[in-house]
Amino acid sequence: MRLEYPANVKIIRVPCTGKVDVIHLLRALEKGADGACVIGCMEGSCYFKGGNYRARKRVEQAAKILDSIGVGGQRIRMYNLSSGEGTLFAQYANEFTEHIRALGPNPIKKAGKKAA
């Protein structure tokens, strides 16, 4: 397929998106990531029944926390696709990167540098 997606996207593999917790998303931003997206299986086709539904709730919860502390919940998103959809993965990676680029760098990172 030789599909391209931005080189700045770092992939972290998890056994199921149900494993992703609020703290993982917050830590990603706290440690300087500009955004984090969770890519889970299609809704209704989770191998472990409802892992991707749980992940979506946690993404929403983390976004709410980020909104309340002024970092911006829109830096966190969830996408769904099936494992055979490489093209869609590349499309989502491009779309999310553009979305984050439009938001600008993570304000925490900027503030942290200033403080140092």
10 three-state secondary structure: coil
* Closer residue to other proteins in complex, CB, 86/112: 112
Report d(CA 83, CA 91) in Å as an integer: 14
Q: Which of 4, 10, 12, 68 binds other proteins (CB under 8 A)?
A: 68
Place of tokens 């890519």: 39
CB of 115 to other proteins, least distance (A): 6
* Closer residue to other proteins in complex, CB, 20/66: 66
* Closer residue to other proteins in complex, CB, 27/101: 27
- DSSP string over 35-59: -EEEEEPPTT-BTTBSHHHHHHHHH
Contact indicator for 28, 107 with CB cutoff of 8 Å: no
Query: Per-residue string for binding with other proteins, 20-59, x by CB under 8 A?
Result: -xxx--xx-xx-----------------------------
Q: What crossing angle do the helices spanning 51-68 and 22-30 adopt, rounded to 10°? A: 40
Q: Which of 69, 82, 87, 101 binds other proteins (CB under 8 A)?
A: 69
Contact indicator for 68, 107 with CB cutoff of 8 Å: no
Q: How many residues bind other proteins (CB under 8 A)?
A: 19
By the criterion CB under 8 A, which residues form the site for other proteins?
21-23, 26-27, 29-30, 65-66, 68-71, 107-108, 111-112, 114-115
